[in-house]
Amino acid sequence: MKKCVKIVFTIAALAAMALTTYQTPFAAATEEIRLLVLGDSLTAGFGLAPTQAFPARLQEALVQRGYKVRVINAGVSGDTTAGGLARLDWVLADKPQAAIVELGANDGLRGLDAGAMRANLSAILKRLEKEQVKVLLAGMKAPPNYGTAYTREYEQAYSALAKEHNVIFYPFFLDGVAAQRELNLSDGVHPNAKGVDIIVANILPYVEKLLAGVKG
């Protein structure tokens, strides 16, 4: 009788262990990922309804693909890399596990020092690394009116930083949208709703790679 009880107990224990082993990865996979979008007017959704802004459309696309994610819109119109760095403590209060850094467009438009821009972005990436936040760095193109030397230093800063900090790099945030009249607002600078959808579609594979790093 004791032997039968022992066998039954052992089987029950093994079953419980198997159930726990099966459930744990599932629970981890369904945890919500908080994805921060630290940027300027291009991500804030200048001239658009909140539901048309990049963070909202990105979240919708990710949810449709089965991700449990909350995309946090930390875009501020007119912000520079210095501004993004200055408010980093505040935006990190949401405890994101991943971040898209889209800053530098206003530095370029104002012709601000490219070396200072690089230093600001580097400080942002270092802080995110310290907080164990996985990062996707989105690059930008400089306006042509400041000369080839400035353009080269400005644009190379992004790829160099991505390599230096070992983060995922998306070379041009406005790829496929910049200078396309039908995809931008009347100012010719900010994407309209159609433009945002193209940005989301283009960057989505990079964002999925970012989220895979968080899950892993």
List, by residue number, the catalytic residues: 41, 187, 190
Query: How far apart (Å, rounded) are the C-alpha atoms in residues 148 and 156?
Result: 12
Query: How far apart (Å, rounded) are the C-alpha atoms in residues 183 and 134?
Result: 30
Q: Pairing mode, if any, of strands 33-39 and 168-170?
A: unpaired
For 162, list phi and psi in degrees, rounded to 5. Answer: -60, -40
C-alpha distances in Å from residue 132, one per residue of 18, 38, 139: 32, 16, 21
Query: How far apart (Å, rounded) are the C-alpha atoms in residues 106 and 178?
Result: 15
The SS3 of residue 142 is coil
Q: Are 185 and 192 in contact (CB under 8 A)?
A: yes
